[in-house]
Every structure is written in C-alpha cells, then in structure tokens.
Chain A
Amino acid sequence: METDRPDGRTPNQLRPLACSCSILHRAHGSASWAQGETKVLAAVYGPKAGTKKNENPEKASIEVIWKPKTGQIGKLEKEYEMILKRTLESICIRTIYPNTTTSVIVQVVHDDGALLPCAINAACTALVDAGIPLKHLAVAICCSVTDSGCIILDPTKEEEEKMKAYINLVFPNTIVSVLPERSSQVGSEPMAHGIMTSVTQGAMSVDDYLHCLDRGRAASARLSEFVRKNIGPKSTWLGRMGFLCR
C-alpha cells in the first residue's frame, strides 16, 4: 500500500542523515545530528563528582537538560527530558563511575518532525564522543500510522500533524559489545532483537503497534550502519583521549 508523501519519499525511506562530532570545544563531548530539516545539538559534561538528592550514589547519575529552540521549557519538554534520561541510563555502564553526574544538554536547532529520535541519536553520539562507557549504541526512529493504516517512517512535521498516531522507538545496537556475550541478552533472546524505549502518541490498534515495531527494527539497521561510520575507531579514540586529558 503505497503512500504519496509531500517530499516524494517512499513509506520506508528516511530523510537524509547528517552527523558531526566534537563541534563544541568546551564540552567533554558534543555532536550535531540532522534528519532532513530537523537538527539537534547535544553536549556532554562529566562525569562530575556527586549526585542529586534522590539519585542512587552507588551508580553514576545522568542529568538531561532540554533547551527548546525558542521560549521556555514546558510540559512536553519535561517529558522529553525524562524519556531521554531513562534511555541514556539503560545504555550507560553506570557502575564504573559511582557517585558522579554526567550532564547531557540537548539544544533544538530546528524541529521538522521526529524531534525526539533525533535528540536521542545526537545524545548517544555525544556520549561516545565524550568517552563515556556504554554497553552498546542506541538508534532511535519515528514511525507513524496514517488513517488508512499505512505505516510511514521518519515523518516530517507536516506529516506528523496529519497522522492518526506515531511512535518513537529506540533499539539497541549490539553488533559489537563491550560486555560478555550473555550480558547482552534479555532472557534467551539477544538484545539486538529487543527494544529499549517506546513512546506512543495517538490511538492505534495492537497490530499497528507490532507492525511499527517490525518496520522500525528493519530501518534501525540502516541507522546503525550510519552511526558506526560516523563514530568509527578514530573519533571514539580521540574522544576518549580528550576526556582523559581533561
């Protein structure tokens, strides 16, 4: 079931991706991530000594600060902060630096749909650039369901507004893992077949959700490939060196 999209893409086609690391010099790690017209800048500071009042001091704490393009932070931005915080907590090896806080600042440069996945990808890339130890990379994608039940990937702002529902999905990428083989499994399944974060908006059937999950997982493989090309051994090593020098 083909759907005509305003920009001429097919339902499974993603917008052009662009990513650059180490663009801020004062931050311990930084990255810019763009998907079409949507662009997000992420900066990582830390680990810094001490944790917040309600955090567990036996583990490293992650603090997320969301900066909107204009105006003050609202309810939606607070929700984005929470989702981002929980996602990053599940990919970081938090036992290595106990009683420390890592701050991740996300600045929205432009929003043209699929903003949260874009921010998650940017934050993950910035963490790698800062040399923060991660279990594995995470790739995020947005799927939306049209009124006719057709599923399209990576919608623009215009498309998002017309959709019946949309889902932000975050998948782990464990082709290369720093942890033992068994630890990258959930139950009997490898973590690569799993999911880390899922946030929906709008009403959809259970079948629609499961279809989105399959489509999203298929597209995440392409995203993973792109991420690995951009943050290859050289940039990761430089990021770690920079972190050690500081």
Chain B
Amino acid sequence: MAGKGGSTPATYSPSPTTDKKKPSLFNEDLARPDGRSFHQCRPAFFRTGAVNAASGSAYAEVGNTKVIVSVFGPRESKKAMMYSDIGRLNCNVSFTTFATPIRGQGSDHKEYSSMLHKALEGAIILETFPKTTVDVFALVLESSGSDLPVVISCASLALADAGIMMYDLVASVSVSCFNKNLVIDPVLEEENGQDGSLMITCMPSRYEITQLTVTGEWSTPKINEGMQLCLDACAKLAKIMRSCLKEAVSDSQE
C-alpha cells in the first residue's frame, strides 16, 4: 500500500495555526458550547421503576448526563450497628468505566456519596423507620457535567418511588461563575473552566435548603443572584419530577 505512487499518505498533519490563543469557552454572541443561553437549563427526562429488583428506582437524563438510582429497604440494620431509634441512610455513588471521557475518571469523585447523604438526610423522615437502614445506590451511566445535582434529584425520585416518607421532593441545580457571568446547569467543558461553583439542593414546596455548597470566590450580590437562579430552577425541576410520579401512578392504576 505504501509503495504505490498514487496512494494517499497514511499520516495527516494539520496546517499550522497562526493564532496561538486558546479558543474562548463562550463565543462572541454569548452562547454556550451546547447553544443554550446563560440562564437556560438542559432538557430533563425522568422515569421511575427502572429496576425491578429494587424497592424503588429512577432513571434521569439531563442533557447527556444519564443516571440510574436504586433504593433498597427499609431493611434490618447490620448486627454490628448500634441501636438507633431513627432510621439510617446509606448512600453510594459510583461511575461506570465508560461514563467519563477518560476511562475510569469517575473514581476521582469519591466525595459524592457523602454529599448525596447530606442532601437527602434533611428531607427524609427518618423517624418512620427506626432500627432499619435504607440503601441508595446511584450509578452514573454517562457523565456530561452537573453530575451530582442530577444524582440527587434522581435519588429523591427513587426514594419517593420506594414509598420512603419525605417532607418534600428534593431538587438540585448547580451554577458556575465565569468572571461576571453566571451559568446555570454547566456541562463538563464549563465545569473545567469555571472560576467558582454553587450547588443548591432544596425542598421547593417548603422553600428550605438541604445542602448548599459554594467553592471559588464569590461576592455577596453574586451569591444572592446565584441562589435565586438555582431556587427558581429547582422549583421548575420539581414540577417535572412531580409530573413523572403522577404519570407512574396513573400507569400503574391502568
């Protein structure tokens, strides 16, 4: 093949670029990598009853981020655990090897399990299942940014599907800060270049926050603006989640 005179070369070298500058994350007309406006969330899809073996389960798709959550229990706590007159919550978040662009990169997010636990703990009425444990297992099938908010929202839906008593559904949204711009529901590309991030997990009906995580440098007005942006998005997300639960109930009745 290589010996033939008219054959195309096996290697390809791109033409040298004169512009040494890195491409800007946002182009001139202030559109984002996926074409959304700054305050626009990705389309969300939720479905309950994805895993038959579990007490309750849910599947969530927000943009290209795909998550499946299974809930088992309430079941008897392990013998080694001390007596507790309130229930225990055990959360675990794992990534498939093919979830991230680089194989096995999901293992970097070992803190997600603890953060999921904190986010759900405030919304579950633990007094309703003493001496027992509820297990929440989340699996990220595809990671495309804002993974933890999607996991939390999906886990809340799975808990509702399992019949675990909660004060309200939990919705979660994150915001990234780029200089003066606030970007809601960032994708992976945006998360890698952000100056700061703010994630809110809330119970929209009660207007209560179960988790708020801020990293990076934020001024007080920016925090207030970001919080308001997240809370509005959480309220809209909760509506979608409620309609999903209603659909599931009406389907089962039919």
Contact = CB atoms under 8 A, between A and B. Distances in A.
Nearest to A136: B217
Contacts of A87: 215
B228 to A, nearest CB: 9
Interface string A170-187: 001000000000000111
Given A75-B111, A203-B203, A198 B219 contact: no
A71 B219 CA distance: 39
Main secondary structure of the interface of B (DSSP, over half): mixed
A112 to B, nearest CB: 21
Interface residues of A, number: 37
B114 A75 contact: yes
B115 interface: yes
A70 B185 CA distance: 39
B227 interface: yes
A195 B220 contact: yes
B12 interface: no
A45 interface: no
Contacts of A90: 196, 215-217
A187 B123 contact: no
B205 to A, nearest CB: 12
Contacts, number: 107
Interface in B110-157: 110-111, 113-115, 117-118, 121-123
Contacts of A205: 207-209
A1 interface: no
Interface in B156-207: 167, 180, 196, 203, 206-207
B111 A78 contact: yes
A185 B208 CA distance: 30
A194 interface: yes
Main secondary structure of the interface of A (DSSP, over half): mixed
A94 to B, nearest CB: 13
A186 B110 contact: no
Given A79-B111, A82-B111, A189-B221, A165 B122 contact: yes
B105 interface: yes
B146 to A, nearest CB: 16
Contacts of B213: 198-200
Given A82-B111, A209-B209, A197 B214 contact: yes
Nearest to B231: A206
A199 to B, nearest CB: 6
Interface in A124-149: none
Contact of B218 (A79, A196, A199): A196
B218 A200 contact: no
Given A186-B222, A187-B180, A195-B220, A202 B212 contact: no
14 contacts: A75-B113, A90-B217, A187-B222, A191-B217, A193-B219, A194-B219, A195-B220, A195-B223, A196-B217, A197-B214, A199-B213, A201-B211, A203-B167, A205-B209
Interface of B: 102, 105, 108, 110-111, 113-115, 117-118, 121-123, 167, 180, 196, 203, 206-224, 227, 231
Interface of A: 54, 75-76, 78-79, 81-83, 86-87, 90, 165, 167, 172, 185-189, 191, 193-206, 209-210, 213
